[in-house]
Amino acid sequence: MFDSLLFQLMLIGLLGVGAQWVAWRFRLPAIVIMSIAGLIVGPIFGWIDPEQDFGELYSPIISLAVAVILFEGSLNLDFKEVRGLGRPVFRIVTVGAFISWIFGALAAHYVAGLSWAVAFVIGGLFIVTGPTVILPLLRQAKLKPRPAKILKWEGIIIDPIGALLAVFAFEIIEFLIGNNGTPSALLTFFLASIFAVILGYGLGKGVGWMFETGYVPEFLKSPVVFATVIACFTIADEITHETGLLSVTAMGMTMANMHISSISDMRHFKENISLLFISTIFVMLTASLNRETLIEIFNIEIIGFVLLMLFIVRPLSIMVSTWRTDLTTPEKVLVSWIAPRGIVALTVASYFASVLLEAGFEDASILLSLTFALVFTTVVAHGFSIGWLAKKLGLSMEGPPGVLITGGNAFTTNLAKALEDLKVPVLISDASWEKLADARSKGLKTYHGEILSEQTEYHLEMTPYEYMIAATEYDSYNALVCTTFVPEFGRTNLFQLSLDKDEGDKLEDLVHTIGGRIFIGEYATWEELNQRVENGYVFRKTTITPQFTFKDYLDKKDEKAMLVFVKKQTNKVEFFSHKNGVKVENGDIVVSLTPPIKEHEKIQEKLEKQRNGNRPDK
């Protein structure tokens, strides 16, 4: 419908990123929204057909995007993270993968009606889950650390293994039926796989060394990594198809475990690029499907195969592979259910569909329909059920958005107590035991350690916390903490105390990209807030009603009172900030730091009411 390739690129980009925004806004699985968007503009209305319109560029674009996505995922695979989970993860990606391959092939042959040759190729491919679908689901579900880490490691490691297993199965079949298959071809495949790992490891080590020794300037680090990833994938893939995925995974894991000082900046850049690729590639893939493929999905054989993969093959592989490990039964149940397939399955299946058809396997014509049926069903089923199931199994960290406070002092202790009284998860972090003593004595949750330490990343689970308040006595440290955690919390959810312009670090001229939003107001410095608490100021909670509106509240509140935060009816917390207004509605609870005289007045009012109520004439 649209002949302009530029217009199609624009449309694909808008749909992909727009789908991500809709998913975030309404808390829906992003992959589902992207797939639906692609189906609408592609096979349903026929507005675009990326595979046909992009021509020879289509496959390279998809392949390179998958390489970058897989590298970005493997860049998060630090072996320190998997402490205590090594045995379950190893068994899932070895024993579990083998069981999935064998039983997946049996299901493809006996239920989907595929020949043994095609069944074993597709069975190997369907063991993949992958970061393109797992990572967005984990962000959405807020799982506890153990199951989240298992699913993440499995998804990233199993991607290249599944692709290689499919290639291996095809090479074996070619050898057995005599279609140009020789022992030397099998040996070449194994040697190419080993070369891919060595190439990825070598490039990862080389790039890491260059970064640490200063051979690459800061402004070139991300571009150098990006170009090297493309080279790593392309070189390996040109030697033997699909080994490029193995190569970029090895490169990412190598760099992740070198603990390069600038790895965080590169990781954030890669996350942004990866998110953009995921958004566009899913739209492109689904838009390239034709109506015949969609209609074929509803064949009883394909439906039966998908159900077997969901309810028999995956649970069986996980239960057997994790037998006699320290995983709990709820963790096994969750992991055995969550296995969405994604981009790698679709792209590699499309490659093998054409290769197998050329080799004379006519039943390979349904591979694309079979793959899309499995991908879409698993994405929808697991995307909409992961949060619900995690809650039922007690593996979810869902709840009201929590608050992480850095800095132990009188003000933060009382603030944390006010939040806790309203059932808001809260934690105070400080490197000093002494500064946390008051908070611990009041039963508040605390973390003793340096918030900027690498160890904190592995010992402090930040998933329950959506807001951070940097409230130490050092303005420069508060600014550093907020700037460091921008990627994790988002700039709008980071707050720091007002800068002390009379004393301290003289940071009032900081550029706007450094630090967080000013908490409460310009006058709310560390010294001022703590002095008020020591002088008897208290956190007062007031419920806004139709009879006592927010305007009434503002008119009657003490002029010295500070508005701190609002607990919404939705359980969301909104903090008052300099240059930031909070919309307060009926049913919301407004919390303020109020002079003690106000509290005395409240007590007097209650006593007066009690006295009036006890009078004989009442």
DSSP assignment of 530-575 equals HHHHHTT-EEEEEE--SSS-HHHHHHHS-TT-EEEEEE-TTS-EEE
Rounded CA separation 241/351 (Å)? 10
pLDDT 10s digits, 199-235 = 999 999 999 999 888 898 888 888 899 999 999 999 9
80-93 average pLDDT score: 77
Instruction: List all residues 6 or more positions away from 505 whose beta carbon is below 8 Å from its beta carbon.
Output: 474, 475, 476, 499
pLDDT computed for residue 413 by the predictor: 94
Strand 426-430 with 446-448, pairing = parallel
Query: What is the average per-residue pLDDT within 563-573?
Result: 88
The mean per-residue pLDDT over the stretch 486-511 comes to 70
> What angle (nearest 5°) sits at the alpha carbon of residue 524, between those of residues 520 and 525?
135
Q: How far apart are CA 249 and CA 161, in angstroms?
A: 10
Name the nearest CA neighbour of 519 among 464, 570, 481: 481
Q: Which of 373, 374, 354, 370 is nearest to 362 (CA)?
A: 354
Burial class (CB in 10 A: 0-12, 13-18, 19+), 444: buried
pTM value? 0.70
State yes or no: pLDDT of 455 exceeds 80.
Answer: no
**Residue indicated by tokens 């709820």:** 330
pLDDT tens for 132-142 read 677 777 766 77
Q: What are the residue ranges of helices labelled H in 322-432? A: 329-337, 343-358, 367-393, 410-421
> At 31, which amino acid appears?
I
Considering the chain, what is the average pLDDT of its residues?
83
Residues 6 or more apart whose CB falls under 8 angstroms from that of 368 comprise 289, 293, 349, 350, 353
H/E stretch holding 109 reads: helix 97-110
The 10s digit of each residue's pLDDT in 250-269 is: 998 899 888 887 666 666 66
* 618 confidence band (pLDDT: 50, 70, 90): very low
Q: Could you report the per-residue pLDDT of 349-391, keeping only the tens digit for each? A: 877 787 788 778 888 888 888 988 998 899 888 888 888 898 8
What does the alpha-carbon distance between residue 185 and residue 315 come to, in Å, rounded to a whole number? Answer: 35
- Cα 265 to its chain centre, rounded Å, is 17
Return the H-helix or E-strand segment holding 610: helix 596-614
**Which residue is associated with the tokens 């499907």?**
289
Lowest mean per-residue pLDDT among 27-31, 187-191, 208-212, 508-512: 508-512
- List the one residue out of 348, 366, 352, 388 whose CA is nearest residue 161: 348
Confidence of residue 111 (pLDDT cuts 50, 70, 90): very high
Condensed to tens digits (0 to 9), the pLDDT of residues 316-334 reads 999 999 998 888 999 999 9
Strands 562-567 and 517-518: unpaired
CB count, 10 Å around CB of 281?
A: 26
Cα distances from 369 to residues 40, 60, 374, 375, in angstroms, run 17, 22, 9, 10
Which residue ranges form the domains of the chain, and what is each CATH number? 5-393 (1.20.1530.20), 402-613 (3.40.50.720)
Mean pLDDT of 427-441: 92
Alpha helices in 394-409 (DSSP H): none
Contact by Cβ (8 Å): 29, 383: yes
**How many separate helices (H) and strands (E) can be counted in the chain?**
27, 10
Q: What is the DSSP letter of 396?
A: B
Per-residue tokens: 53: 């319109």
d(CA 375, CA 335): 17
DSSP string, 1-68: ----HHHHHHHHHHHHHHHHHHHHHHT--HHHHHHHHHHIIIIIT-S--HHHHHGGGHHHHHHHHHHH
Angle value at C-alpha 517, between 512 and 519, nearest 5 degrees: 145
**CA separation (Å) from 44 to 37, 268, 608?**
10, 36, 72
